[in-house]
Amino acid sequence: MMARKLANKRTKEILPENVIKEKGLPKGEFTTNWNGRITILEPEISFIAKQLDIKKKGEYAIKVR
């Protein structure tokens, strides 16, 4: 079974629940209520990453509630 993915309410970064737990991140900063997804591979040359002010590669939610 795959781990549920949660989005950070502030940064919109999407992480699996087990990674959040492994890194010791506060679960209260994440939500299951998100829509859409964008993957940033090279933030330093990505036009979209610049528009969204994303500085590290990863998966991000488009809308977080």
- Dihedral, CA atoms, 51, 26, 39, 41, nearest 10 degrees? 80
Q: Tell me: the pLDDT tens digits for 1-42?
A: 677 999 999 999 999 999 999 999 999 999 999 999 999 999
For the chain, what is the domain count? Answer: 1
- For residue 27, what is the DSSP state? G
For the chain, how long is the longest CA-to-CA vector?
35
- At residue 49, the 3 state secondary structure works out as helix
- CATH code at 58? 2.20.28.90
Q: Are 7 and 64 in contact (CB under 8 A)?
A: yes
Domain that holds residue 28: 5-64
Residues 6+ apart with CB under 8 A from 53: none
Overall pTM > 0.85: yes
Question: Which two tokens mark 60?
Answer: 């991000």
